Amino acid sequence: MGTGTGIGRVRGLGSAKSGALHWWHQRLTAVGNLVLMAWFVTSLVRMPSYDYKNVSEWLASPLAAVPMALLILSVLTHLRIGLQVLLEDYLHDEGTKLGAIILLNFYVIAAGALALFSILKIALGGAPA
Q: How far apart are CA 72 and CA 8, in angstroms?
A: 42
Instruction: Report residue 120's pLDDT band, with 50, 70 and 90 as the boundaries.
Output: very high
Average of pLDDT values for 13-40? Answer: 85
Q: What is the DSSP letter of 17?
A: S
Residue 5 lies inside a defined structural domain of this protein: no
Domain count, the chain: 1
Residue 56 lies inside a defined structural domain of this protein: yes
Residue 1 lies inside a defined structural domain of this protein: no
Q: How far apart are CA 77 and CA 122, in angstroms?
A: 23
Q: Give the structural domain span for 99.
A: 20-123
Q: What is the largest CA-CA distance in the chain?
A: 69
Is pTM beyond 0.85 here? no
Mean pLDDT (the chain, rounded): 89
Residue 14 lies inside a defined structural domain of this protein: no
Residue of 25, 41, 38, 125 lying closest to 85 (CA atoms): 25
Residue 7 lies inside a defined structural domain of this protein: no
| CATH for 99 | 1.20.1300.10
